[in-house]
């Protein structure tokens, strides 16, 4: 019996199984071919945001190392017997050090400048200004006897209060994103094909007005979502009032995004179909937030860490895409995370403006009136 007849008989005897096997072989061939091709084609590091070598005290990322102390916090060991005034740094992945790594973060720069203070980093990836996390921050502040709490406000913290209080109001997209992170993100950085598909999908959604976490990017549309910015400011004010009750000083640092501080970055992201209100580039989101803050809130607008308020156009022209922010080193367009140079610029701005001066200060408001 020749081979052709043998194959025909096998197919006739097990047609469904044969089709499944053939399809599996074809799919496997396509996946392996795509995987190999992308390993040569991709011009970014698919594992930039992922840690594959970890231990109990250090997490190694491509951008640097993050230390984890015995309290499970991203810092060196705290000296809880010291009588030094204690400063706590709170925020999301920016303060955690994504794009910079331990030793190059804002908190380390300020620690070097103010050695008379004890500096403690409490950052948590994905955190936002919610009532639930306000309780957690207060607990940390009290447990570690903080004298000053600095909250670094990332603009993607702008969310409706009802969404931050009730998980059932979470959008389907956020739920899908959460499910994927639990089930498939093991392949992120390991599989070039999965990482490529994930990145392309995420960039597409961001071009449709969504943010990094699956919510609408309210921060990029301050004209439409002024009420939500005001809602967020109200939660910050509430946090300030709670800390006042415990005699803990509160400092707010408002972080910019890259398209705001760089004309080249603005053009690059626009070419990727990312959209925003025209007034967003002028800083309306920050200004709207500031307008709704309690006048007693001691705040710093870190936009001015990168832009001279008296030479805005020239400053934005001189700042290049990727000069101060991660931009395109990993598997997403990243206008959100300052790199090492960006962390240093923000720290220097805070130092120049005497960040630990415990008085309410009025910021320049020349960008948007």
Cα dihedral 223/297/120/357 (nearest 10): 130
Q: Are residues 142 and 9 in the same domain?
A: no
Residue 173, pLDDT score: 62
Q: Are residues 87 and 194 in the same domain?
A: yes
Determine contact, residues 195/227, Cβ cutoff 8 Å: no
As a 3-state breakdown, the chain gives helix, strand, coil percent values, each rounded to 5, of: 50, 15, 40
User: Do strands 58-61 and 53-54 pair parallel, antiparallel, or not at all (unpaired)?
Assistant: antiparallel
Residue 360, pLDDT score: 35
Range of the domain at 11: 3-41
Task: Please list the residues that pair with 252 across neighbouring strands.
Answer: 151, 299
Q: Are residues 208 and 272 in the same domain?
A: yes
Q: Are residues 11 and 103 in the same domain?
A: no
Residue 358 within a domain: no
Q: Are residues 15 and 87 in the same domain?
A: no
Q: How far apart are CA 192 and CA 60, in angstroms?
A: 20
Q: Are residues 149 and 225 in the same domain?
A: yes
Number of domains within the chain: 2
Q: Are residues 70 and 146 in the same domain?
A: yes
Q: In what order do the strands lie in the sheet with 64-67?
A: 53-54, 58-61, 64-67
Residue 79, pLDDT score: 95
Q: What is the CATH classification number for the domain harbouring 79?
A: 3.40.50.1110
Q: What is the pLDDT along the chain (369 residues), one digit of tens a residue?
A: 455 555 555 555 667 776 777 777 888 778 788 778 778 788 788 889 988 777 778 999 999 999 999 999 999 999 999 999 999 999 999 999 999 999 999 999 999 999 999 999 999 988 888 888 889 999 999 999 999 999 999 999 999 986 555 544 456 666 666 666 667 777 788 888 888 888 888 888 888 888 766 789 999 999 999 999 999 999 999 999 999 999 999 999 999 999 999 999 999 999 999 999 999 999 999 999 999 999 999 999 999 999 999 999 999 999 999 999 999 998 889 999 999 999 999 999 999 999 987 633 334 333 333
Residue 193, pLDDT score: 87
Residue 362 within a domain: no
Residue 22, pLDDT score: 73
Q: Measured on CA atoms in the order 194, 199, 200, 205, is the torsion positive or negative?
A: positive
Characterise 234 by phi-psi region: left (phi > 0), alpha (psi -120 to 50), beta (else).
alpha
């Amino acid at each position: 019996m020749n081979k052709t007849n043998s194959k025909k008989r096998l197919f006739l005897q097990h047609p469904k199984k044969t089709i499944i096997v053939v399809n599996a072989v074809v799919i496997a061939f396509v996946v392996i071919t795509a995987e190999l091709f992308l390993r040569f084609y991709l011009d970014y590091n698919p594992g930039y945001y992922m840690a594959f070598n970890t231990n109990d005290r250090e997490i190694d990322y491509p951008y640097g190392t993050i230390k984890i102390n015995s309290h499970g916090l991203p810092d060196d060991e705290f000296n809880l017997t010291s009588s030094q005034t204690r400063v706590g740094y709170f925020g999301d992945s920016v303060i955690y050090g994504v794009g910079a790594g331990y030793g190059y973060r804002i908190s380390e720069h300020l620690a070097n400048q103010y050695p008379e203070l004890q500096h403690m980093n409490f950052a948590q990836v994905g955190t936002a200004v919610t009532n639930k996390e306000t309780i957690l921050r207060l607990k940390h502040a009290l447990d570690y006897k903080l004298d000053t709490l600095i909250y670094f406000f990332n603009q993607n913290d702008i969310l409706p209060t009802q969404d931050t209080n009730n998980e059932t109001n979470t959008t389907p997209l956020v739920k899908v994103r959460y499910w994927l992170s639990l089930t498939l993100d093991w392949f992120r950085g390991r599989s070039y094909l999965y990482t490529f598909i994930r990145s392309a999908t995420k960039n597409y959604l961001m071009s449709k007005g969504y943010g990094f976490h699956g919510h609408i990017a309210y921060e990029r549309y301050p004209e439409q979502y002024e009420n939500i910015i005001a809602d967020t400011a109200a939660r910050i004010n509430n946090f300030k009032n709670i800390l006042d009750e415990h005699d803990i000083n509160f400092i707010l640092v408002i972080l910019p995004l890259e398209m705001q501080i760089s004309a080249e970055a603005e053009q690059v992201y626009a070419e990727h179909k990312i959209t925003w209100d025209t007034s967003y580039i002028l800083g309306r989101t920050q200004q709207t937030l500031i307008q709704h803050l309690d006048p007693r809130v001691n705040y710093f607008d870190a936009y001015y860490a990168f832009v001279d308020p008296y030479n805005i156009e020239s400053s934005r022209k001189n700042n290049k895409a990727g000069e101060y922010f991660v931009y395109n080193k990993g598997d997403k367009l990243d206008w959100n995370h300052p790199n090492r140079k960006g962390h240093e610029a923000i720290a220097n701005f805070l130092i120049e403006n005497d960040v630990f001066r415990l008085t309410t200060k009025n910021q320049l408001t020349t960008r948007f009136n």
